[in-house]
Amino acid sequence: MHPSFLITILFCITLFAQNADEVVQKSEDLLHSRSSKSDVTMTISRPSWTRELSIRSFSLEDDYAMIYILSPARDMGTSFLKRRIELWQWSPSISRVTKIPPSIMSQPWMGSDFTNDDLVRSASVVNDYTHSFLSDTVSEDGGTAWRVELIPKPTAPVVWSKVIMWITKDDYIRRRVEFFDERGTLMSVMVLENVKKMGGRTIPTKMTMTPRDKPGHHTIMEYNDAQFDISINESFFSQQNMKQIK
């Protein structure tokens, strides 16, 4: 093989990998900004019952997050705090702040089908995974989408052994995300829909998480309001502020 031809091939492979990184970064930038505030309704559905939570959350970059439960009454005031790699929960019923160990990040958040990691984003889909393109496919809304495979880096503190994202080619919106366990088994599928303008951005405002091994189980998160690039600083994300709904 002529050396110049080999160099061309290597350049194309590198460019291809860079483009996969850029696609994931652009899709992440749509959903998350340097800082944000959102009000969300979470509906947890089981074969014999349905439960609804109202949630308010704040974030600052990838290092800080605060989540308050506004309703129902029995859970009101429960809050969660992330500061860099440390996580805490405030339980008003027992007036106690509890540190959340990394070992339970894969556990359900408040009994839903989303994990603790999904809500506080302790792992970064941009920085903690390598990205590569699989074959193109059709997205949930019928448009053409990249199918991007995310494999965790060796030292990354991630829950999943592999993630596959459908990201639309025309607007970089995620429309479907698949989550795989350490055995390579598909465990959960998240579908993102109801794309509309909110907070000055065009984003999916409804996310449905469905576990593959639990028939009749699913959880829906719907954005009622979202604000991006709000004025907020690190001092807001304190254990004191966990104890009072903002």
Q: Where are the domains of the chain?
A: 3-242
Give CA–CA dist 69/80, Å, rounded: 9
Q: How confident is the model at residue 139 (pLDDT cuts 50, 70, 90)?
A: low
CB 62 within 8 A of CB 52: no
Strand partners, 138: 144
Q: Report pLDDT for 7.
A: 40
Query: How many of the other CB atoms lie within 10 Å of CB of 242?
Result: 22
pLDDT on residue 206: 97
Q: What is the mean pLDDT of residues 217-236?
A: 96
- Average pLDDT of every residue of the chain: 88
Residue range 215-243: mean pLDDT, rounded: 96
Q: Which residue has the tokens 């909110």?
A: 198
Residue 121 has pLDDT above 80, yes or no: no
The share of the chain scoring above pLDDT 90, in percent, equals 69
Reply yes or no on domain 3-242 having CATH 3.40.50.2020.
no
Residue with tokens 């809500």: 119
Supply the pLDDT for residue 74.
Answer: 93
> Residue 83: is its pLDDT beyond 60?
yes
pLDDT recorded at residue 122: 62
Q: Quick count: other Cβ atoms within 10 Å of Cβ 48? A: 6
Q: Does residue 125 register a pLDDT over 90?
A: no
Q: Is the pLDDT of residue 3 over 70?
A: no
Q: How far apart are CA 166 and CA 201, in angstroms?
A: 19
Closest listed residue to residue 148, CA positions, set 59, 20, 35 = 20
Pick the residue with more confidence: 13 or 190?
Answer: 190
Before 72, cis peptide (omega within 30)? yes
Average pLDDT over residues 169-179: 94
Flag whether pLDDT at 20 surpasses 60: yes
As a whole number of angstroms, the distance between CA 144 and CA 167 comes to 9
CB neighbours of residue 215 within 10 Å: 9
In terms of Cβ atoms closer than 10 Å to its own Cβ (0-12, 13-18, 19+), residue 61 is exposed
Given a contact cutoff of 8 angstroms between Cβ atoms, the answer to whether 160 and 179 are in contact is yes
Torsions phi, psi for 20 (to 5 deg): -65, -40
Q: How confident is the model at residue 53 (pLDDT cuts 50, 70, 90)?
A: very high
Model confidence at 136: pLDDT above 90: no
Least reliable range by pLDDT among 5-14, 57-66, 69-78? 5-14
Which of these, 151, 44, 63, 54, lies nearest to 108 by C-alpha position?
44
